Structure 1
Amino acid sequence: MKISKVVPIILGLSLIACSIVLIDALETEQVQPPKKAALKQPVTVIQTASKAHRPTITLLGTTQARWPVEMKAPATAKLLWLAEKSEPGTLVKQGDILATLDTTHLKSQLTQAYSAVKQAELNLQREQHEQTVALKMLSPERSSAYARHEPQIASAKAELMQARENYTSARQHLNDATVSAPFDAVILSRDISPGQQVEAGDVMFELAASDSLDIRLPVPEFQWPVISPGLENTLIQITDRQGQQWSASIRHISPLADSDSRQRQLVLAVSQPYQKNPGLLPNQQVTVDIILAIHNAVSEVPLSSLTRDGQVWTVDENDQLRKEAVTLLEENQHHAYIVFEENPDRPRTVVTYPLLSMLPGTEVAPEHAELELANKEIIR
């Protein structure tokens, strides 16, 4: 190859190589952007400390009459006398007469029953006399039981027994014609008027015990473990819609669940419910405050701190989230009183507004808020 042809090729390759070197020299060095620190989720927290506290649980109960009883007419008769103080709401003592019925027919029935008793006694004496005569005339070994008047004597005794029972029944009907209070009671209703003709079985009065009143109190399942251990040391206060208050005691724990809510039931007793004016009446809804025994290591937190499943989010010393189980003792409009299941005496940093997206172990940026709680002893 001629030199004149090779020189341009070499010269071109040299230029290409120089261009590559120049481009590489002029290329700007890429600057790596600085790494940003990971952002932590800010959460509002409060600092809590455990104290002694006497919780008060507020529930709704329904009053019920104690020993409701219907006084029915014992027989068909005319109302002969009616007590003036037999209006509904009147308090009566045991044995007080409320009304009397006309006893003319009842006395007639009692006389007939008495006559039947005497006739049966006469029949028995006649059979016994005939038996005595028959035994003297007959041989005991060869005579039959009928000849010895044994079945006749048994029949006469049975007739006498029946006659005496009929007499006792007739006398009881006569006594029942005077209608009286079976115990200290309040008259709930009166269904008769003076001079009225009543039929046997007609309701004349409806009474209930005046010295006591029952209150059925359904207790939610999550509050039952808090209430049940200290029932003997529990103070119970009843408040009606008029704001009047009564003290109550526990009559018994119902063996049946509430028919509507399927919850456990306490049956409370209120003494002398009708003596106030106005009194505590049956079939009313009342507010029941159950004041429990003093609990130690109770923490007071905002009501918003509780999650839907009744737990609490806290922040540990490494600013990491923890979900802790608690026992709810009491709650009001703004605060909840809880006991942590693990180390309840230890102070906590509690998240005031937990989110559904929170995960245990997540590092957060806590922002402390002032909790408007009294720094006094919260022993009630």
Structure 2
Amino acid sequence: MFRHALPFIGVIGLALLAGCNNGEPEPLAVRPVMVTQPQPASEAFESYPGEVHARYEPELAFRIGGKVAERMVEAGDRVSKGQPLAKLDPQDVQLQLEGIRAQVAAAEANLRVAQAEHERYKTLMNRQLVSRSQFDSSENAFRSAQARLQQARAEFDVAHNQVDYAVLRATHDGVVAQRRIEVGQVVAAGQTAFILAADGEREVAINLPEQALDRYSVGQAVTVEIWSQKDKQYPGQIRELSPAADPQSRTYSARVAFTTAEVSAELGQSALVSIRNNAEVPLALPLSAVTAEQGQAYVWRVKDDATLERVAVQAGAFGETLVPIFSGLGANDWIVMAGVQMLHEGQPVRAVDRDNRPVELAAQE
């Protein structure tokens, strides 16, 4: 009999407990949840390391070939316009100059003889003592002697210039950026001897990968940071973009010009060029924050009153750790990132970060 009375007593106990609550449901316990804010799925800026160069960097070379007899400057030396940088052995060009000088003297003597002969035939022609054809021959010889002298003088000028070409001079005020010759080296005409960084404008040389080339164009705005000047950025733009890739690195060289005149950048300094990604940058959440029901992805967002709401989102392809979110969320939203299968709408929560520190929501600030 006692055994049959136990269920009845249990029912009476539950009824008494229900009567104590006056028919109202028990309040939900506040549950701690780990939250995070959406982050960009990819960087809004792409950055490339570079080096400060001069706007104008002419490659200086001898206009004639020869053996380097003297080199007067080193890389890094400051030079002024017209200053000698190196000299070739002048022996060959000096001998050539002397030979042509002798040719000029011979042509002048030949012209004097031809001119005197022409004057004699002119006098005889006036006296009817020579034929017209003999006079024409003397005149032709005189004209030829004049032409040969003119040619010899032109060759002498060229040879004289070549003597000057044996001395390589700076074309601008600036700094010798590179030196590519040594004393005793035999160089060809046009072979680069020095690279001169001319004074004036400065710019940054960078290399762009092939896959990023279609996102950039000449004139595109960029931001330049000199590594030696922390927390200071300069505006700039892409001034030049190579149409062909470097055969070794398979990258495309680009030059970035500063758009402000007040830039304290020295040659050779390291720089970082940041270029804004013009493509739309979606937000992203950890995999654990996204769940789905009947093909619809959704997340749990913490509202300002510290309660939960389920938000439908448009998600992209799942990555290894992140899921791109194309719509439904803002960058300032707080999203539950763990235990989302055990939550329900309107549940009160206590938001904490990864270090178990309380997160201040907008309504609590």
TM-score, normalised to structure 2, is: 0.51
Cα separation, partners in 2 of 1:178 and 1:230, compared to 1, 3 Å: closer
Cα separation, partners in 2 of 1:298 and 1:177, compared to 1, 3 Å: closer
Q: Distance in 2 between matches of 1:217 and 1:115?
A: 56
Which string of whole-angstrom CA distances, capped at 9 and with x for unpartnered residues, describes residues 239-290 of structure 1? 48x98999584331222245456565532358999985xx517xxxx66332
Q: Show the counterpart of 2:30.
A: none
Q: Show the counterpart of 2:46.
A: 57
Which string of whole-angstrom CA distances, capped at 9 and with x for unpartnered residues, describes residues 144-187 of structure 1? 9974754x466445533431232112211222343322333315
Compute the displacement of 1:118 (Å).
3.8
Aligned alpha-carbon RMSD (Å): 6.0
Q: Indicate whether 1:178 and 2:167 are aligned.
A: yes
Q: Show the counterpart of 2:273.
A: 289
Q: Show the counterpart of 2:59.
A: 69
Which string of whole-angstrom CA distances, capped at 9 and with x for unpartnered residues, describes residues 77-134 of structure 1? 784x664xx2332121221223456756655543432332243244345445655637
Q: Distance in 1 between matches of 2:67 and 2:279?
A: 68
Q: Distance in 1 between matches of 2:256 and 2:268?
A: 13
Given that 1:48 and 1:299 are in contact with CA atoms closer than 8 Å, whether structure 2 keeps it comes out as: no
Q: Show the counterpart of 1:90.
A: 77
Q: Distance in 1 between matches of 2:232 and 2:77?
A: 22
1:183-198 residue pairs with structure 2 within 5 A? 183=172, 184-186=174-176, 188-189=178-179, 191-192=181-182
Q: Indicate whether 1:280 and 2:268 are aligned.
A: yes
Cα separation, partners in 2 of 1:258 and 1:190, compared to 1, 3 Å: closer
Gaps of 5+ in 2: 1-33, 289-296, 301-308
**Of 314, 318, 329, which residue of structure 2 is paired with 1:322?**
314
Q: Indicate whether 1:115 and 2:102 are aligned.
A: yes
Q: Indicate whether 1:268 and 2:256 are aligned.
A: yes
1:25-44 residue pairs with structure 2 within 5 A? none
Cα separation, partners in 2 of 1:298 and 1:351, compared to 1, 3 Å: farther
- In our comparison, the structure showing a higher alpha carbon Rg is 1
Cα separation, partners in 2 of 1:260 and 1:189, compared to 1, 3 Å: closer
For residue 220 of structure 2, give the secondary structure of its aligned residue in structure 1: helix
TM-score, normalised to structure 1, is: 0.49
Q: Show the counterpart of 2:5.
A: none
1:250-265 residue pairs with structure 2 within 5 A? 250-259=238-247, 265=253
Compute the displacement of 1:204 (Å).
9.8
Given that 1:59 and 1:289 are in contact with CA atoms closer than 8 Å, whether structure 2 keeps it comes out as: yes
Q: Distance in 2 between matches of 1:153 and 1:172?
A: 29
Q: Show the counterpart of 2:195.
A: 207
For residue 81 of structure 2, give the secondary structure of its aligned residue in structure 1: coil
Q: Distance in 1 between matches of 2:360 and 2:135?
A: 99
Q: Distance in 1 between matches of 2:180 and 2:218?
A: 44
1:2-41 residue pairs with structure 2 within 5 A? none
Cα separation, partners in 2 of 1:248 and 1:188, compared to 1, 3 Å: farther
Letter in 2 for 1:217: N
Letter in 2 for 1:237: E
Q: Distance in 1 between matches of 2:158 and 2:234?
A: 45
Given that 1:56 and 1:289 are in contact with CA atoms closer than 8 Å, whether structure 2 keeps it comes out as: no
Q: Distance in 1 between matches of 2:210 and 2:192?
A: 40
For residue 252 of structure 1, give the secondary structure of its aligned residue in structure 2: strand
The share of aligned pairs that are identical, in percent, is 21
Letter in 1 for 2:151: Q
Compute the displacement of 1:209 (Å).
1.9
For residue 173 of structure 1, give the secondary structure of its aligned residue in structure 2: helix
Q: Show the counterpart of 2:208.
A: 218
**Of 157, 160, 185, which residue of structure 2 is paired with 1:168?**
157
Given that 2:313 and 2:329 are in contact with CA atoms closer than 8 Å, whether structure 1 keeps it comes out as: no
Given that 1:217 and 1:268 are in contact with CA atoms closer than 8 Å, whether structure 2 keeps it comes out as: no
Q: Distance in 2 between matches of 1:160 and 1:245?
A: 68
Q: Distance in 2 between matches of 1:82 and 1:230?
A: 40
Q: Distance in 2 between matches of 1:130 and 1:375?
A: 114
**Of 212, 215, 220, which residue of structure 2 is paired with 1:231?**
220
Q: Distance in 1 between matches of 2:198 and 2:360?
A: 44
Compute the displacement of 1:366 (Å).
7.9
Which string of whole-angstrom CA distances, capped at 9 and with x for unpartnered residues, describes residues 321-356 of structure 1? 63459xxxxxxxx999x995x899899898979xxx
